[in-house]
Structures are given as structure tokens and as C-alpha cells.
Amino acid sequence: MAAEEKQETSKTSEPVGRRAAIRYALLGIGGAILTALTWKKAEAGYGQCSVPGCPCPGYYGNGPLCQNCGHQYQAHW
């Protein structure tokens, strides 16, 4: 009977291993995407305006000038 239990255990542990491998692969892909998105936000045109005294909280619009403050997108980090 112990041999039968071992046989059943090995059959059920294989799919769990595959599921775990898939889960870890998806977590790795998710981490890579999150890293890419984080790096993208560090580029010009995303964050607060860097012009001294400008209270603009972040670049808004899709042209060369921010629709919040009128400064160029390069001034927003």
C-alpha cells in the first residue's frame, strides 16, 4: 500500500510543480513590466514641472506644451 501512495504522490506533485513554474514565470514577467513602466515615468514629460516656482503637479496634454502650466514637456520630470 505504501508503494501505491508514493505513486499517487508523484503523480499529483508534477502538476503542482508546473503550476508553480508558471506562477513564477508570470511573476517575473510582471516584475519586468512594472520596472519598464517605472523607468518610463522617469523620462521627461511625466512628473512635476521643474521650472522654479511652478506649482504644476504633472504634465498634462499630448503636445509640446503642458496644458496645466504652459511649460515644455522637457521641464516635467
- C-alpha distances (whole Å) from 48 to each of 34, 57, 58, 65, 75 are 21, 5, 4, 13, 8
Q: Tell me the per-residue pLDDT of 59-69, one tens digit each, with 9 for 90 and over.
A: 888 888 999 99
Which has the higher per-residue pLDDT, 40 or 77? Answer: 77
Helical H segments across the chain, by residue range? 2-41
Domain boundaries, the chain: 1-42, 43-77
pLDDT of residue 57: 92
The reported pTM is 0.43
Confidence check: pLDDT of 2 > 80: no
Q: What is the pLDDT of residues 15-60, one digit of tens each?
A: 568 887 787 777 777 777 766 666 544 456 778 999 999 999 988 8
